Structure 1
Amino acid sequence: MKKILNYIFIVSILVYSSACDSNFDELNTNKVSATSIDPAFQLNNAIIGSAYSTGTLIYEIGVVQQIVSPNSGLLTGANYNQDNRGVTDDSWQAYYRNVIKNTKDVISQIKEDPSRENLYHMTRIIQANAYMVLTDTYGSVPYFEGGVGYSQQIYLPVYDSQQVIYTDLIKELSEASAALNPSGRIETADILYAGDIMKWKSFGYSLLLRAGMRLSEVDPTTAQSVVQQAFQGGVILTNSENASLKHDPNYTNPIGNLLNATEASNFYLTEPFVEYLRSKNDPRLPAIAITYVGAKSGPEQTPANGTYAADVHVGMPMGNDNAGAVKAASDLGLASFYEFAQADRRRLAKNTAQNFLVTASQNYLLLAEARQRGWITSGDVESYFNAGVRAHMLQLGTVDEGSSIALGEIDAYLSANPFDSSKAMEQIGMQYWVSSFLNGPEAFANFRRTGFPILQANPYQGREVEFINRLTYPNSEISVNSENVQAAISAQGADNLATKVWWDK
């Protein structure tokens, strides 16, 4: 009897186990969790990731002497002309992790899918923009093997020279811009242009124009050919076409976020920038700046004592640490260095401010230079120049209504500061500097290419170089991908702030 009971018990367990296992896979499958993602959303992640990192405020924007901080530690950078590898890696990490990783994956998924042809070419354009920033910042970088650790298991990518990278960037931008098809599928999920293919074309050709102009000193023949191609393709020439990231409370502007948080009272407009705008009676100074009159501390920088008045703004002199800034403020009769002018964090530097990748103003000024060089034959230099100045002044009002400049003020400025053909390149370069305010990577690149604006070397006594020409490689790359990094350094030059990138002649 005992054996029979044991047998019945074992059979019951087996039957029960079989019943429990029935449809087990189906029951344990999450039917609401995504198993794939539309590559259009990955492109959106790459677009969002294209916003300029906070590190550009410490380095690139400081190099061109628009904004600096007197503080050291994490904020050491162009304020002291010293290497700070805790910050120089910001753009590297941001672009490889948030842009290149996504664009390379999207391209690998849809390259052979004719139904997503437009998305493929849009992705190539965003990727080209990211790589242009990376190579302009560091020089040689992983290009062909960069960002494919997941898809191709290349974890130690080879570095490519800037000359090789630019050759391929020009090819990519030329092909992608030309191939975008308004009759093809419209990618309505696109957060940059809502799938407007003609605007994407203009964006692509605008980047091609920028790439061509980068070669002006190192390969003028190729530069002229590329610029002509971009111009004929059609570049951004209205503010409604500007390639800008529209930030909101969920996806904030990194620079604006920094200036509205822990570092709100630590960054100031520089003396060279403020004085240039003031010397021209430029209406952009009150549109950009705010001074907190009588402020002796950060908490005293309140809207109640803030003023936009141009005659009140005083820029912080270059080359000061915290103690130096205290003395400089005292020498100028200010209550403290907290009374130096700042980029207004409630208008242009708010955390929801747009992040401009390419603008009509920048394009007009590049076309003015191209016309001056004789590389294009349509239009005249003065008209392009004036259009560039006008477009930037109008652009400020698209960021915040409080920074709007009246048409009458714009006309008065152009009348009082007329274009002078004998100083064409200088005037164009100076206006490009102002037009690229808060676009650190582009202002930094154009400054090195053209030599404008004409700036005095940072006088800080502990500086490592007079002018910063590139940023240094991340410590993580040096320790992990050391063989390829050393090969790049051997070919390019020392991994320091003084070494020039290929096109910087």
Structure 2
Amino acid sequence: MKLVKYILGLAGAVVLLNSCSKLEDINKNPNESEQVQPDYLLTNGIKANVDTYWGTDAAMETSLLYVQYWAKIQYTDPDRYIPAATSIQTIWNNFYAQGVADFTKLIQLGDTLHNPNYKAVGIIMRSWIFQVLTDFYGNVPYSQTAKIDQYLTPKYDEQRDVYLGLLAELKTAVSLISPSDNPIGGDILYNGDMNKWKKFANSLRLRIALRISDKEFAAAKTVFDEIGADESNLIVSNSDNAQLVYQASPNQNPVAKNRETRNDYRISKSVVDKLNEFNDPRLLIYGAIPRDTNKVVGITNGLATDSAARLGFNKTSDVGAVFTAATAPAVLFNAAELLFIKAEAAQVGLLPGDASSLYNRAVTASLKQYNVSDANVTAYLAQAAVAYNAANYKKSIGEQKWLALFGDGLEGFAEWRRLDYPKLPAAYTGNLGGKIPLRLTYPSSEQALNGTNYKAAVTNQGPDALTTRLWFDKE
């Protein structure tokens, strides 16, 4: 019913909404509880939305291809920048109907049950979802979306206002957290450890602050001044990474589930080339050795379907098992990302500290995430090609951060747009005249069901096209 309510709300069909309410009254089961259990809601909310984030539509068929972590070896249209309308619609529907709606309900339950920790977690997860949505689409429904009874057709907020709103919401969430009492259940991300939820919330605040810093430096610096120096409340250790560790089927990683019936994807040549350039020990972690070769072989993004197929499934490399195994974790925020954030913040004056030292810690955290030995870490950092270059910090940080976010298509895509590194070639037979996508287009349902607000958003932001540059993405 959540999805039905959302669609009807966007349509503004008051008569249908009233009919729906009557049907709800008729269909109530007198033998079932009408009270939603917060632990069940939290478990389902985390699982459903991480599945969307790490799944086919938001990752495998779009962001992982755009940022050239993966490439397609068959059915290559998405890799040529021709996304399926169903993918665009599914991302939007899932995040709004399963994400925003469920975590808004959890926030309300936190108040009803006088448990501020449930409320804090609801705010944090909903903020993460809104951050993902605005990163991907730009201007999105935000301030009115959680009030469907009041706003049947929610307006699109400007991206700047969404980010600033999320910074305020996450600060509120941290203030609500009480680690010593008010335990929560159903937490499959951090097992009820509210100190780790605080670290996740603060780390998200720094991610957003850095993302807006090219346009709103003063606002960003306020956040870094407040929380950037206290590493006890940030994700600086891989043991604190925000990640969902999957189980065996039917609760397996969505990448593994996809591999049960499909074999569409390979590691991108762009990643393989960069890993080889750096003599990077993650090469044999990120990519698998094909059956018919003795080395990792990536494929060029955006090949025509017949050209890609001729390369051969057994002569090209699938993504490594750390990403494709049933129990592979879906990472939402890792320690390497936070340390790269601090390194860049130190470089540009948002935060005191030595940028080079923080950069080395970030690279180390990424390598140690995959159990690279200390000796290999030391040798890797000693290479001239890897050494931090303050004169071109965007290249140093951009390339290494891109590698550290491998597999996390949405965040990797956002940071590649912001830093403009690494320098990636457009898809070989891309559909955008030699350009790479800079956003995802809005789903067609918005034009039909929320047309007035959709048109206002397009007028404000620019054409509803893959190549329209978003507010945070400074040229």
TM-score of the aligned structures, taking structure 2 as reference length: 0.87
Identity of aligned residues (%): 29
Show structure 1 runs of 4+ deviating over 6 A: none
Matching residue of 2:400:
431
Matched, 1:373 2:348: yes
Which residues in structure 2 correspond to 1:411-426 (within 5 Å)?
411-416=378-383, 417-426=386-395
Match of residue 67 from structure 1: 70
> Would the aligned equivalents of 2:290 and 2:296 in 1 still touch at CA under 8 Å?
no
Q: For residues 89 and 145 of structure 1, what CA distance do their matches in structure 2 show?
A: 20
Matched, 1:54 2:56: yes
Query: Does the Cα contact within 8 Å between 1:253 and 1:354 map onto a contact in 2?
Result: yes
1:321 aligned to which of 304, 309, 312 = 304
Supply the AA of the counterpart residue of 2:387: P
- Shift of the 188–42 alpha-carbon distance from structure 1 to 2, 3 Å rule, reads closer
For the Cα contact (< 8 Å) 1:81–1:468, is it kept in 2? yes
CA positional deviation for 1:96 = 1.2
Structure 2 contact 69–409 (Cα < 8 Å) conserved: no
Partner of 1:15: none
Measure how far apart 1:465 and its partner are: 5.9
Deviation at 1:315, TM superposition (A): 1.3
* Structure 1 position 83, deviation (Å): 4.1
CA distance in 1, matches of 2:171, 2:111: 17
Aligned partner of 1:271 among 253, 269, 272: 269
Query: How far apart are 1:93 and its partner, in Å?
Result: 2.1
Distance 1:255 1:457 in 2: 25
Shift of 1:205: 0.3
Q: Provide, for residues 445-500 of structure 1, a one-character-per-residue CA deviation record: whole Å limited to 9, x for no partner.
A: 10111111111222315445611011011122222222221221121111110112
1:197-236 residue pairs with structure 2 within 5 A? Answer: 197-232=194-229, 234-236=233-235
- When Rg is computed on C-alpha atoms for both structures, the one with the higher figure is 1
- Structure-1-length-normalised TM-score: 0.82
Residue type at the aligned position of 1:219: E
State whether residues 364 and 388 of structure 1, in contact with CA within 8 Å, keep that contact through their aligned partners in structure 2. yes
Amino acid in structure 1 at the alignment position of 2:271: F
* Count of residue pairs brought into register by the alignment: 437
Q: Distance in 1 between matches of 2:62 and 2:239?
A: 30
Report the aligned-residue RMSD.
2.1
| Corresponding position: 1:494 with 2:470 | no
Residue 335 of structure 2 corresponds to residue 382 of structure 1? no
Shift of 1:177: 1.6
Superposition deviation, residue 106 in structure 1: 1.8
Unpaired stretches in structure 1, ≥5 consecutive residues: 1-27, 295-306, 330-335, 397-403
3-state secondary structure, aligned to 1:357: strand
Picking from 280, 285, 292, the partner of 1:287 is 285
Which runs of no fewer than 5 residues in structure 2 stay unpaired? 1-28
Query: In the alignment, is the contact (CA less than 8 A) between 1:81 and 1:465 conserved in 2?
Result: no
Structure 1 distance, partners of 2:107, 2:224, is 26
Question: In structure 2, what is the Cα distance between the partners aligned to 1:464 and 1:471?
Answer: 17
Distance 1:382 1:413 in 2: 15
| Distance in 2, Cα, partners of 1:464 & 1:143 | 33
Alpha-carbon distance between aligned partners in 1 of 2:186 and 2:326, rounded to the nearest angstrom: 24
Q: Distance in 2 between matches of 1:491 and 1:338?
A: 48
Q: Is the Cα contact below 8 Å between 2:81 and 2:430 reproduced in 1?
A: no
- After superposition, the Cα gap between the structure-2 partners of 1:89 and 1:464, relative to the gap in structure 1 and judged at 3 Å, is farther
Letter in 2 for 1:368: A
1:446 aligns with one of 401, 410, 415: 415
- Write the letter of the residue equivalent to 2:398: G
Paired position in structure 2 for 1:164: 161
CA offset digits 1:419-458 (Å, max 9, x no partner): 3333332111111101111111100110111111111222
